[in-house]
Amino acid sequence: MASAARPRLSTWGMEIPILFRNPHFVVLDKPAGLKVHAGPGGGPSVEDWFPHLSRRKDGPWLAHRLDADTSGCLVVALRKAALVAAQAAFAEGRVAKTYWAVVHGGPKEGEGVVDLPLRRVTDPSGWRMVGGASGDPAVTEWRVRARAEGLAWLELRPRTGRTHQVRAHCAALGCPIVGDAIYGAGGGRLMLLARAISLPVNPPVSAEAPVPPHMRAALDLLGY
């Protein structure tokens, strides 16, 4: 895991800290608001930084995805064999992921599991994930780390990797993530951090992301 003086990638006038690096993988500390893929609307994406990571023909590739509004650990494979190994670990549910979220209200219990299948629904206002038996299996473990002034600090460990899973499952608990305009009331930046990740590949990959500036005041209030 990287020390306090982490190396950084810079382009588009932006910097992305590197949390972990070996010859096969890099774990980036993706800033909130940065897309992972280039989209039709243009603008920067994580892929714009790939030439700084490797100039090999067989890479780099994203090993998984994060929402544009989510900050934290993002794994990039530097070689094709590494990508295949990472994809197998994700598909088999062997990757350990930890998220931190600041939510409105909070569950009554101190910990639990959300087992709610999710499916994508599109309407004129856009798309979102909704719960229901017809969806794909989605399971998230959660626990309350702290509560204060109508907020709660949740630690979440998704067992599956559905799109928007943590966001939709927090809303299903009755405590949408602060700043979530899709599953909550919006009003500011999304307070969701991909805090840590561990891939059981050879050699193992492990990284932990620091709290981003836009979440720091709320987490300090909650005793961080």
The whole-angstrom separation of Cα 56 and Cα 122 is: 38
On whether the CB atoms of residues 191 and 177 are closer than 8 A, the answer is: yes
What one-letter code names the amino acid at 140?
Answer: T
Task: Tell me how far CA of residue 3 lies from CA of 53, 68, 74, 188, 207, in angstroms.
Answer: 19, 26, 17, 31, 11
Structural fold of domain 8-221: Pseudouridine synthase (3.30.2350)
Q: What confidence category does residue 4 fall into, taking pLDDT thresholds of 50, 70 and 90?
A: very low
Tell me the pLDDT tens digit for each residue of 104-147: 999 999 999 999 999 999 999 899 999 999 999 999 999 999 99
Catalytic residue among 67, 69, 115, 220: 67
Tell me the pLDDT tens digit for each residue of 181-197: 999 999 999 999 999 99
Tell me the three-class secondary structure of 16-51, residue by residue: EEEEEECCCEEEEEECCCCECCCCCCCCCEHHHHHH
Q: Which tokens go with 83?
A: 């990508």
Stated pTM of the model = 0.93
Tell me the pLDDT tens digit for each residue of 89-109: 999 999 999 999 999 999 999
The whole-angstrom separation of Cα 120 and Cα 168 is: 11
58 is catalytic: no
Tell me the pLDDT tens digit for each residue of 145-185: 999 999 999 999 999 999 999 999 999 999 999 999 999 99
